[in-house]
Structure 1
Amino acid sequence: MHRIQYLLAFTFLLSAFGLKAASILIPMDEAQKDHLKSYGIAFWVLKNGEEVDWLLNYRGGSFVTKYDPKTENECKVRGVSYEVLADDKVSQIIAQINDPSVNMDVVKLQTAPRMAVYSPKTGVKPADDAVILVLKYAEIPFDLVYDEEVLRGDLNKYDWLHLHHEDFTGQYSKESRGRYAEKFQEIKASQEATAKKFGYSKVSKMKLAVAQNICSFCAGGGFLLAMCSGADSFDIALAAQNTDIVDEQYDGDPPDPQAQSKLDFSRTLAFQNFTVVTGSYPSGRSGGRFSNIDVSNTRHIAQEDDFFTLFDFSAKWDVIPSMLTQNHERVIKGFMGLATAFDERKIKSTVTIMGELKSANEARYIHGEYGKGQWTFYGGHDPENYQYNPNEPPTDLSLHPNSPGYRLILNNVLFPAAKKKKLKT
């Protein structure tokens, strides 16, 4: 008997014996056919005004919601594995989770966050950003915003913001040569026009204003996820707000020779005591693309050895990092990007490291608080493409529906929906 037929028969038997099919469990362990679309189901339930219980560390971080034929049908349509549970079974699971001796907890998700992705609206393929790719695959709605929307103050419309692999230092990712030369000129012209429109003399000054507005969004209670160079260049721009670190070929004048001594690390979210690279790329390879925060060009790790391990947090006490690290695997395949991994020696002591390659002092997945808000930085470009090439076709996530690396992105998507009093850290 097929699984769907079995579930229908099971539901009929429950009714026949007077038992209520109270809940739908979406397992997130190896029994799940499509982990990524499962997050989309949870988001869909929230968007429809219902609640979802996130069972931390129970079967890979499973979801439970009250039984509704519409939810069951949505699971079938999207190809998501589910189980129909009676009241007594749900009670048994909750009792197991509430046992003080086990590392599990229940987090109630109540309201779907309003989603935005900071990314150019033209000239960017879905493959250019893993978050855009997985949000579309999971069928989670979002808006695109970029410099104009941020500078106009539109971020107050949203609860959650992702930063694509942007260069917030105003150096256009230092991609002015070779196969990137044409793209560089196009991006440079577009961003210079926006800077002029808003009264900024340089793109670097405009990008700094954008970064500061994003900081204000986070400080006011917003949730921020940045990947790849969107993470390290963001902090570098904030630290360099009182100096000029941009090379002449990008803004028409040389950088401040005293720039390093003028960096203000009190302005940053995650990183400190780093050294900026003021020259062009690839001449600055030994020090990284923007600074020595990223270890992309100094690491010597073969692809077959490139993994990072998620920390095992206390679900009952360290609820936030526990939510952000829910997975069916604890060892995650590494992947490269403009910013691949962060030197742990450059990370502030207040930051929580959630995933690392300890032998190389590399942090891949980190989290912290800023004002009333939360932020997460995730190194690398695409969890299912080890070394991304812009000429490649987009990653087909239907071939990777159980991706542990992509699950970390989607943990951040549901995190803001959590009932606030459940956040104990």
Structure 2
Amino acid sequence: MRTSIFILCFWLTALGLRAQGYILLPMDEAQTNHLKAYGITYKVLELKQEAWWLLNYRGGSFAFPYSDVFKKECITRGVRFEVLAEAKFNNILNQIADPEVNMEAMKLEVPPKIAVYSPTVNARGKEIQPWDDAVTLVLTYAEIPYDLVYDDEVLNMKLPEYDWLHLHHEDFTGQYGKFYASYNNQQWYREYVRNMENLAEKHGFNKVSQLKLAVVKRIQEFVAGGGFMFAMCSATDTYDIALAAEGVDICDHMYDGDPADPQAQAKLDFSKTFAFKDFQLVRDPYKYEYSTIDASPMTAPARRVQDKQDYFNLFEFSAKWDPVPSMLTQCHNRTVRGFMGQTTAFRKTQIKSNVLVLGENKAANEARYIHGTFQKGFFSFYGGHDPEDYRHFVHDPATDLNLHPNSEGYRLILNNVLFPAAKKKKRKT
């Protein structure tokens, strides 16, 4: 017993955890680096220390017991912090607990283990993906660890090892991103197609669309079992299209060697999807669009959102009654700059009624950020490719987040990353 007490005291001393109160990371406009603040909080959880997410308090601030180690991390990473006496921190908790204020204190417990679904290299070690991924960029910048997974890992049942899975610019329909018209003569595209075909053959599938459907079904099982899935850009709509088109050939001959089923649209089963309903497929194989889910000019010619006026607003939820959407929308600015992608925004008429809209462009009648549940798990879909690059093209350089440490758009991604760490309270009834 004495040995155990000695070991505990040793680690407390090593961390500098003494009677010095708490460190508060303000997440309002006073914060110098919002993105790295998430990484600091993740580090605290990695070291098995408790942390608090103070919803709607100064922009959704974080707090944890004082430590010389944590103080040094804040200074090193350029994150603004405040040292609070224990009595002052307790006063903040009491203020938050007031039923008249829209705030809540969420205890953060275990750091989620993160997987990013991404085809970084082919079998010969050559990069085949000529675009970057906003989530890997911000995880790297915030210094939050993650593992890369792809079809091999998913089909070999590795997903249950993780708590949180990210999908980005991926085409789960087997149409290779519908890049054929623009890029079929380029080397990177041919490498991409060859790698996908090899993967399909490796796993016993005749077509890439069959491989991707199997991957989609494994991810569905991951979410059903309690996993957290976050998708951006074309991974959002193509995921649901693949589910709805199970058993239906929606790929034209240049994608899988034979024509698409002419009755494909009538055979879609929207009861299988996570978020979307009643959408129309874009059957033209030369058009860079999948369906009417995306509120783009290709499917909605009347859409006239000018670059300088492209913003979306975050809804404000009751932190005490609805802590989940409140966590996902914590930000120092309720108005967020819009950004484009292959899938930019979601047509509201094609979102299922049980799916929650977290952010919308009301003037354009489109949702940009949505959230829902599937059995025991959760999913969030976020339109667009890169929050700080309005129009990101193939082969464009990656965004330097040193230039955007206070990005509202990137903060929304990191809200999703920390969300699984929260100790869920029973919903008030």
Whether the TM-score (by the shorter chain) exceeds 0.5 is yes
Does residue 255 of the first structure (1) align with residue 255 of the second (2)? Answer: no
Q: Deviations over 1:369-404 (max 9, x none)?
A: 001000000000000000002232210000000000
**Aligned partner letter, 1:21:** Q
Corresponding residue for residue 294 of structure 2: 294
Tell me the equivalent position of 1:207. Answer: 212
Q: Do the aligned partners of residues 406 and 33 (structure 1) sit closer, same or farther apart at CA in structure 2, a change above 3 Å counting?
A: same
Choose from 418, 421, 424 the match for 1:417. 421
Once residues 125 and 35 of structure 1 are traced to their aligned partners in structure 2, the CA distance between those partners, rounded to angstroms, is: 29
1:185-264 aligned at under 5 Å gives the runs 185-264=190-269
Secondary structure, in 3 states, of the residue corresponding to 1:128? coil
TM-score normalised per structure 2: 0.91
SS at match of 1:398: helix
**Residue number in structure 2 paired with 1:44:** 43
Amino acid at match of 1:291: S
CA distance in 1, matches of 2:86, 2:222: 42
Per the TM alignment, residue 181 of structure 1 is displaced from its structure 2 partner at its CA by: 3.5
Instruction: For residue 359 of structure 1, give the secondary structure of its aligned residue in structure 2.
Output: coil
SS at match of 1:420: coil
Match of 1:381 in 2: 385
2-side partners of 1:382 and 1:124: how far apart? 19
Would the aligned equivalents of 2:183 and 2:189 in 1 still touch at CA under 8 Å?
no
Instruction: Give how far 1:92 is off.
Output: 1.4
Hey, what's the Cα distance between the residues in 2 that align with 1:102 and 1:421? 18
**Contact kept? 2:155, 2:218, Cα under 8 Å:** yes
Measure, in 1, the Cα distance between the counterparts of 2:72 and 2:395. Answer: 38
- Kindly indicate whether residue 367 of structure 2 is the aligned counterpart of residue 363 of structure 1: yes
Equivalence for 1:13: none
Equivalent position SS for 1:354: strand
Post-superposition offset of 1:124: 5.8
The verdict on how the C-alpha distance between 1:126 and 1:204 changes in structure 2, with shifts beyond 3 A counting, is closer
CA distance in 2, matches of 1:326, 1:361: 22
DSSP-derived class of the 1:136 partner:
helix
In percent, how many aligned pairs have the same letter? 58
Q: CA deviation at 1:189?
A: 0.5
> In structure 1, which of residues 346, 351, 357 is the aligned counterpart of residue 350 of structure 2?
346
Alignment match, 1:86: 85
Q: Show CA shifts across 1:3-35 (max 9, x none).
A: xxxxxxxxxxxxxxxx94210000000110000
SS at match of 2:425: helix
Q: Map of 1:22-421 to 2, 5 A cutoff?
A: 22-122=21-121, 123=127, 128-179=132-183, 181-182=185-186, 183-282=188-287, 289-297=289-297, 298=300, 299-421=303-425
With 73-82 and 293-302 compared, the bigger mean Cα shift is at: 293-302
CA deviation after TM superposition for structure 1 residue 180, in Å: 5.8
Q: Deviations over 1:196-234 (max 9, x none)?
A: 011111000110000010000000000000000000000
How far did 1:423 drift?
6.2
Please tell me whether the aligned partners of residues 119 and 129 of structure 2 are also in contact (alpha carbons under 8 angstroms): no
8 Å CA contact retained: 1:243, 1:259:
yes
Is the contact made by 1:325 and 1:411 (CA closer than 8 Å) also made in structure 2? yes
Amino acid in the other structure paired with 1:86? A
CA contact (8 A) 2:163 2:227 kept: yes
Residue 363 of structure 2 aligns to a residue whose secondary structure is: helix
- Residue 361 of structure 1 and its aligned partner are, at CA, apart by 1.4
Q: CA deviation at 1:360?
A: 1.4
What amino acid is the match of 1:318?
D
CA distance in 2, matches of 1:241, 1:424: 38
Q: Could you tell me how far 1:236 is from its partner in structure 2?
A: 0.2
Residue pair 1:120, 1:146 contacting (<8 A) in 2 also: yes
Please say if residues 360 and 366 of structure 2, whose CA atoms lie closer than 8 Å, have aligned partners that are also in contact.
yes
1:53 to 1:218, Cα distance in 2 relative to 1, 3 A: same
- Please tell me whether the aligned partners of residues 130 and 394 of structure 2 are also in contact (alpha carbons under 8 angstroms): no
Deviation at 1:279, TM superposition (A): 2.0
Inter-CA distance 351–327: structure 2 relative to 1 (3 Å threshold): same
Aligned length: 402
8 Å Cα contact 2:128/2:192 also seen in 1: no
Distance apart, 1:127 and its partner CA: 5.5
Q: CA RMSD in A?
A: 1.5
**Aligned-partner residue type, residue 212 of structure 1:** K
Rate the CA distance shift 1:129–1:117 in 2: closer, same or farther, 3 A. same
Q: CA deviation at 1:247?
A: 1.1
Equivalent position of 1:16 in the other structure: none
- How far off is 1:300 after superposition? 1.3
TM-score when normalising by structure 1: 0.92
1:125 to partner: Cα distance:
6.7
Q: Which runs of 4+ in 1 moved over 4 A?
A: 124-127, 422-425
Gaps of 5+ in 2: 1-17, 122-126
Q: Which 10-residue stretch deviates more, 375-384 or 180-189?
A: 180-189
Compared CA separation, residues 326 and 180, structure 1 to 2 (3 A): farther
Structure 2 vs 1, CA of residues 346 and 191 (structure 1 numbering), >3 Å: closer, same or farther?
same
> Greater CA deviation, 175-184 or 379-388?
175-184
Q: 1:23 touches 1:65 (CA, 8 Å); kept in 2? A: yes
Moved more, 91-100 or 398-407: 91-100
SS in 2 for 1:395: coil
